[in-house]
Structure 1
């Protein structure tokens, strides 16, 4: 019996490579920068162009109207961010736009595929590193076709933790973010890191380079592909309060094991964010 989603999985990798090549080419030329509602979250014309390439290629391959799409730039222009039971692509064309603009060498193409609201596979192409991370539900996780797995570290003091500052610069939220980081650093842990791209951060957890990554205020397209990769590498996903992972909640902790995860959760100062699928939600 033919594998139901193998064709989609294989094509997603091809599209991710095509998108990554477009990003590299754009990085070699002058970058015209626009801003979203927050000046920290920079966006370039490359985002829009790459998303069109990805969605256009998928529609051409599988037929117009056969699949649904949730894309960062599409949602920014007013399209709904609602995950249904229909086959759905969840796309971040340039994860790490600010990195891209500044020449900081971590930029990823993130493509996930969900059916019946369940993630079937994820592709993360760290295009400046030329690292292709991928995973299918129940079939393991890979980087450049080599099997990867999470770290076996269980002692928090021997761990490296990743987090990001986010794009909201309101003093209340910034204070909570840095208070959390201070408490985690003083456990103490080996170190705190951040690549500037959630998709890459999750792949670092999956490959065993770090023990955990958490963030409040991320979006579903930032983490959908990485979620599959982490789980297939033997890791786990939780809400930052220890509850079940919810793709649309904009709150996520990924870790190598529950010992590390729950030790970090004790230190996280949670603050409210509007869900991706909220009717009034706007991207920041």
Structure 2
């Protein structure tokens, strides 16, 4: 069975690179923009084209496997993670970045069996960086091993987060209350790449010490979660428990020490209801 998953991972890397070529080509053309839940919740024809490219390619090689894809779910398909081998796809993580040609745009492909991540692939298209991880075998960027930072002092840390698409005052106030708590620890800085997958790869790379977000989806973080853990990092729910990839919230950090301090600061102001969570980018 292990050989089968390696073949699947090899295919994921190949198709992610091909999808990245589609994304780069589209940046040179007219990027037709549509909206989903709001005027700032964007989708493009390229998102839909890339997702179909990945799904069709995988179906040809692994016809019994299931899919959870951002655009498929947006079109009405169920978002259920079962024990069946499942490809979890974000065709363009960082659609708003893509629309504005902001240079952090990723193709994210995770693969789960028995509800456990077996491999993750995140291709940062414009940087030409291929992040990969296989369960129990480490994490890599363009073939070079990744290792989280050894920073244990939150005061000397850089923290990453995102701000979602909700613009109602109540949700924005909660987001900025959390941000204020983090900044006032104080930390060295807060950063936002505009892509959950890339933020998690930055944690795995050691240049960001933690990333937190409330409102992300499983396709945003499935691949990145394994890349972080295989690089020596830890994953935690924003209330301190075990991460559920379907819960729409996560803390990814270099260590439990940093993760627990982030949890302390972002949980102190209260969490929005699940139906009020801001959608991810």
Is residue 23 of structure 2 the alignment partner of residue 17 of structure 1?
no
Structure 1 residue ranges, 4+ long, deviating more than 6 angstroms after superposition: 281-284
The SS at the match of 2:185 is coil
Output the CA distance in 1 between the equivalents of 2:65 and 2:193.
Answer: 32
> Who is 1:215 aligned against?
213
Output the CA distance in 2 between the equivalents of 1:207 and 1:283.
Answer: 26
Structure 2: give runs of 5+ residues left out of the alignment. Answer: none
Q: Give the Å deviation of 1:283.
A: 6.6
TM-score (norm 2): 0.96
Is residue 12 of structure 2 the alignment partner of residue 37 of structure 1?
no
* 1:250–1:273 CA contact under 8 A, matched in 2: no
User: What is the 5 A alignment of 1:62-211?
Assistant: 62-63=62-63, 66-211=64-209
Output the CA distance in 2 between the equivalents of 1:192 and 1:127.
Answer: 23
1:77-126 per-residue CA deviation (whole Å, 9 max, x = no partner) reads 00000001100000000000000001111000000000011110000000
Q: Give the Å deviation of 1:150.
A: 0.2
Output the CA distance in 2 between the equivalents of 1:265 and 1:61.
Answer: 41
Output the CA distance in 2 between the equivalents of 1:136 and 1:266.
Answer: 31
Output the CA distance in 2 between the equivalents of 1:221 and 1:193.
Answer: 21
* 1:215–1:252 CA contact under 8 A, matched in 2: yes
TM-score (norm 1): 0.95
| Residue 251 (structure 1) aligned to one of 249, 268, 272 | 249
Output the CA distance in 1 between the equivalents of 2:251 and 2:262.
Answer: 9
Deviates more, 1:155-164 or 1:258-267: 258-267
Q: Give the Å deviation of 1:3.
A: 2.4
Structure 1: give runs of 5+ residues left out of the alignment. Answer: 276-280
* 1:151–1:207 CA contact under 8 A, matched in 2: yes
Output the CA distance in 1 between the equivalents of 2:182 and 2:278.
Answer: 31
Output the CA distance in 2 between the equivalents of 1:2 and 1:102.
Answer: 41
* 1:217–1:273 CA contact under 8 A, matched in 2: no
* 2:236–2:243 CA contact under 8 A, matched in 1: yes
Deviates more, 1:173-182 or 1:90-99: 173-182
Number of equivalenced pairs? 277
Output the CA distance in 2 between the equivalents of 1:41 and 1:283.
Answer: 8
Q: Give the Å deviation of 1:273.
A: 4.4
CA RMSD in angstroms comes to 1.6
The SS at the match of 1:119 is strand
> Who is 2:57 aligned against?
57
> Who is 1:278 aligned against?
none
1:232-278 per-residue CA deviation (whole Å, 9 max, x = no partner) reads 00001000011110000001000000111111111103423438xxx
1:26-80 per-residue CA deviation (whole Å, 9 max, x = no partner) reads 01111111111111121111000000000011011223xx100000000000000
